A and B are shown apart, each in its own frame.
Chain A
Amino acid sequence: MEQKQALFNYLLRLGDNAAILGHRLSEWCGHGPELEEDIAIINTALDLLGHARSLYTYAGEVEGKGRDEDDIAYLRIEREYRNALICELPNGHYGDTIARQFLFDQFNYLLFSELVNSTDETVAAIAAKAIKEIRYHLRRSTEWTLRLGDGTEESHNRVQQSFHDVWMYTGDLFVQDESDKAVIEAGIGPDLTLLYPVWQDKVKEVLKEATLEMPENGWMQSGSKQGRHTEHFGYILSELQYMQRAYPGCEW
């Protein structure tokens, strides 16, 4: 695979992860369990959207067809979005959101800790800025996992179910294809198969402290790297793209 194409695909995946999860988190705005949580969730959403913007802008440069961050964010069809499936899952209740966030943050933290040393200078620079924020996201979602897991009986049961429900989407985070191989070979990004066991250990540690049981690795859903999404995804796009599709070619 041509390296430019591989890098472009890789940047889209990273950008889509951030944009789509940021989109989901932003849906909490005004509806969180406490005013302080609204503020904190918006913070994470803002960070992720910031990462997405840098990554999309760079993806556009790599592609060299003159697409900017908005062309990439708004004007693709469903199958062209490459975010991990876990990012697009509905918010559910607060425990569902926290379980999704913690598992993703742990992945994102390990990934970006490696990207800081990328041979691609722009990727390294984006990662160096993002990692500080991602470290904070992970700390926050870890704390909430502990609170809900080791809080009341009700919260324990609820968030335990959340982890069980979301678990089958975790394998998808670590699936690799041709683009990944090219990116690994060029030293741009890490080998995800090496991160997987570390991720498992870290997650296990936190769940244990939260008095939660680590779900079994049963059947894992996958398909994000081919742009095969869940049914939820189309609805995200119908909101996200509404203005751009209804009023094509306008400045906003």
Chain B
Amino acid sequence: MAQEKDLQKIFEEKIEKEIKIEPKDWMPDEYRKNLIRQISQHAHSEVVGMLPEGNWITRAPSLRRKVALLAKIQDEAGHGLYLYCAAETLGKDRETLVQELLSGKAKYSSIFNYPALTWADIGAIGWLVDGAAIVNQIMLQKTSYGPYSRGMIRICKEESFHQRQGYEILLTLCRGTEEQKAMAQDALNRFWWPSLMMFGPSDKDSAHSAQSMAWKIKRMGNDDLRQKFIDQTVPQANFLGLTIPDPELKWNEEKQSYDWGQIDWEEFYNVIKGNGPCNKERLAARQAAYDNGAWVREAATAYAKKKAERKTKDAA
């Protein structure tokens, strides 16, 4: 027991001194669990997030946009892969994590339970959803777990590119016809509030926030991150000539930041509970990919085994 106490002390010192925790280091069980939950949730979000945008690949309005969208979604798949690897360093394998997603035990970001209905939504998703993700991920670059921190540094670069790309889609729409501009406004109307919800419940209501902050897994609270996102996004909306769907939104000179209205938390919890517009479709799509791919994965494994056996036979 004395030994565990020492280990705990070493761990806490590292956290205190901003030294990253690495996979082989001792860490409290709860720290490990908390990280697995957060990183796998993040990985699932990248993968499920491919679906709403994936809807629009075959309908993208120009070849340039099609290629850019496809490349963006490919990046998200890469992020998913990278994050699953980071989660695996904590001792849970990808297969188990995926099973937890499919069974509904593990969550993914609720934003992906909203539908992508028009081409402007592809712009709004890049601008707002990737934009909100970046605010969160910049903070996570300083997270205390080494592999997660390094993953975030790498992923953030691509996310900023996605955000600019999304914004540029909307800029083109806003400089286009009345119909195009209306399409952009409609997308903003639908995605604004769900994007704010991406930062999670208010810190006072968040189950994991305080402990995550103490362990420096998270470095900023949900409310501060949300405010940061709003402050940086409102001027961008103004530049587009679009109206943010919040009548209470107002610059506060004293705070040097925006005052804004109320999130509909009932909607937030409802979507988490599975009642969002696309919860069922998203999970069904992942389940179908998993089931339909089973025989393919089995074949690949069987073939690799045969090949290895032939090799050893040849060598003998």
Contacts and interface: CB of A to CB of B under 8 A. Distances in A.
A49 B66 contact: yes
Nearest to B305: A151
Contacts, number: 141
Contacts of B134: none
B153 interface: no
B63 interface: yes
Given A38-B50, A94-B292, A147-B299, A251 B172 contact: yes
A32 B293 contact: yes
Interface in A217-252: 236, 239-240, 242-244, 247, 250-252
A251 B50 contact: no
B105 interface: no
A56 B66 CA distance: 15
B299 A148 contact: yes
Interface residues of A, number: 50
B81 A46 contact: no
B10 interface: no
Contacts of B294: 33
Contact of A42 (B77, B177, B303): B77
Interface stretch (B68-76, B156-164, B246-254): B68-76
A27 B78 CA distance: 18
B262 interface: no
A68 B66 CA distance: 16
Nearest to B291: A33
Interface in B216-233: none
Interface stretch (A76-84, A109-117, A152-160, A189-197): A152-160
A148 B295 CA distance: 9
A178 interface: no
A contact face: mostly helix, strand, loop, or mixed = helix
Interface string A122-154: 000000000000000000000000111011101
Nearest to B57: A26
Contacts of A34: 293, 296-297
Given A31-B288, A38-B77, A252 B172 contact: yes
A69 B63 contact: yes
Contacts of A250: 61, 176-177, 180
A59 to B, nearest CB: 13
Interface string B70-104: 11011001101100100000000000000000000
Interface string B145-186: 000000000000000000000000100100111011000000
Contacts of B180: 247, 250
Given A33-B294, A148-B303, A151-B303, 12 more contacts: A27-B57, A29-B57, A29-B70, A31-B285, A35-B77, A39-B74, A46-B71, A46-B74, A94-B292, A150-B303, A250-B177, A252-B169
6 contacts: A26-B57, A30-B285, A39-B74, A42-B77, A52-B63, A53-B64
Top-8 shortest CB links A-B: A33-B293, A151-B299, A155-B299, A243-B61, A33-B296, A252-B61, A30-B54, A30-B50
